[in-house]
Amino acid sequence: MKKYILFIFVTVALFSAKAQKPVVYDYSQEVMYAHLNATLFFPGEYLNYKLYCLDKEKNKLSSLSTIAYVELIGASKETVFKHRVRLEDGKGFSDFFIPTTLPSGNYKVVAYTQWMQNTGVADVFIADVQVINPYLSEKLKTTKSTPLKYTLNTKLHFQNSNKEHKTYAKIDVKLDKNTFGKREKVAALLVNNIAELGYGSYSISVRKVDEIPTFETPKAQIINKENFRKNGLLTPNAMLAPEREGYFLKGNILNTSTKIPASNIDVAISIPGDDFYFSVATTKLDGTFSFTIDPDFPGTSAILQVLDKQNYLYSIYVHENEAVDYSSLDFDDFEIASSLENSIINRSVYNQIENGYYSVKPDTLIAVAPSNSFVRYEKGVTYNLDHFKRFPTMTEVFTEIMKIVYTAKGNDGAKVVKVVERKFAKPTDDLAMLFIDGVFIPDHAAFLAFDALKVDKIKFVRNGYVFGKTDYQGVILVTTKNKDYKPSNGHSFCKENELFLPNTQKQYFQQSYDDVTSETLNRIPDYRLQLLWQPNMELKSVEEKVEFYTSDVDGIYKIALEGFTRNGTPISSETYFTVTN
């Protein structure tokens, strides 16, 4: 008995020693900049952001990571929201709607890639923002005067704007006048003073300057200089890999009774759907597995299954994403001057009215072509079962309708499903791959027991495939009438996991008062504070016109251009104008 215990102890120790050996990836470090549309938000408003991920060595937009993460962190270090964002050539964008349940206070917007997490918070983008929620008034702490550290003199900004543009700028934002009426068309001209050297990726925000003192919006030029001076050190422990081709889903397999990591075990993942996702990973010595999922797969949940004849011996555990340590973040005290009451009330009313008319001013989702399953373009034959006599069992369907598919006895004597490779081919020991609504079915007995009257159509492919340690001959794809198949729950070796999907990108609404739309829109209130948010602009000329319309809200507005040239040069340019009656 003692020898047995000692053997187990030594084995576990060896597993641990090998599992803790660091994995080293030889890639350049990344840094992140996020262009925010504002730093002060009310319920009913959107926090818009555009991400720029840069290669720290090349000082250009990075092509390494395809996934980024954006979080809003509260003063108690809790995460308000966490987004997974697609990056294409180092760029991505999304937004967060401020709910009425979010308390007033100081928050931080944090943006990073998984690769950046290896250096802690050194290269992570962090920006201070504020939320004022008048609907949770008990949370507000008022003071008679405005805290000086947040003082913002909007008139000074406006007066200096013309002076700033008299000096040389790489890219200028120019207007033909500084004052506009309500619902008037504004044509801003982006003047690229450095020709091809100014070509690059940019984002533009046109928004009313806050009357309420708040934080300055971070600029690409300033952030770029600060981050490139930092020298984050890679962590000495196991390194997080960059998400180069999609996002990771990680986990581990343990022996259910002994809790010992199960190595060299195949694990299958299925993301159901018409264009389903399927892959197989083999566990490492420490029992861990990892899948890289294409962000364009639209499925919301994944089915994980242990592929082993004794699968009942094992349990699947899915890992949470590695969290960033925010313990070192500092937050200033949050106070609101009582003199700002009217400004807060007016802005809240504007937001309520705007949200009431959202149906006529909607943003639209940008459709993404879904990724295809591994058999999407494979030649096959499809049978619509309503075109044939209906049979209650799958065995009868194969026998009476699909002559190329047949059942036979497996090595253990149980009935299995096979697909003939080609005419006159000798029978093979390789089994067919079985799917119902995109879910892999490793148990052939369970597949044959499925109610055939629920099936809409069956497609079979005669090609051979290798997944994990198993060779397969042919694929059988069953589509049910309701397309809602799920395997039975309650087994430790089969686990359904909700996916943390990347945010869907939007085409943001742009108000227009041209001759076609003005008759309808003239009767609708227009209290927009954000006149334009254009996150995905590519500058490819020496001049680019940007047009938008003012709203019914008078005041001072800022046009802010942020971004990076193709050579990685940060660009920050802005100008101001006034809207009056």
- Residue 131: is its pLDDT beyond 70? yes
CA separation for the pair 556, 374 (Å, rounded): 55
Angle, alpha carbons 366-371-373 (nearest 5°): 155
Contact call for residues 239 and 114 (beta carbons, < 8 A): no
The total number of residues shown for the chain amounts to 581
pLDDT, mean of residues 71-91: 96
Regarding pTM above 0.85, the answer is yes
**Any alpha helices (H) in 80-219, and if so which ranges?**
154-164
Question: With b meaning 16 or more CB within 10 Å and e meaning fewer, what string describes 350-369?
Answer: bbeebeeeeeeeeeeeeeee
For the chain, list the domains and their CATH numbers: 30-234+324-368+506-580 (2.60.40.1930), 381-484 (2.170.130.10)
The per-residue pLDDT for range 252-280, each reduced to its tens digit, is 999 999 999 999 999 999 999 888 999 99
Write out the two tokens for 128.
Answer: 């201070």
CA separation for the pair 381, 129 (Å, rounded): 57
What pLDDT, on the 0 to 100 scale, is given for residue 9? 33
Contact call for residues 384 and 456 (beta carbons, < 8 A): yes
What pLDDT, on the 0 to 100 scale, is given for residue 24? 60
- Residue 93: is its pLDDT beyond 80? yes
The per-residue pLDDT for range 196-231, each reduced to its tens digit, is 999 999 999 999 999 999 999 999 988 766 665 555
CA separation for the pair 261, 15 (Å, rounded): 8
Write out the two tokens for 495.
Answer: 């686990």
The per-residue pLDDT for range 317-376, each reduced to its tens digit, is 999 988 899 999 999 988 888 889 999 999 999 999 999 999 888 999 888 877 889 998
* 480 contacts: CB under 8 Å, gap ≥ 6: 436, 437, 454, 455, 456
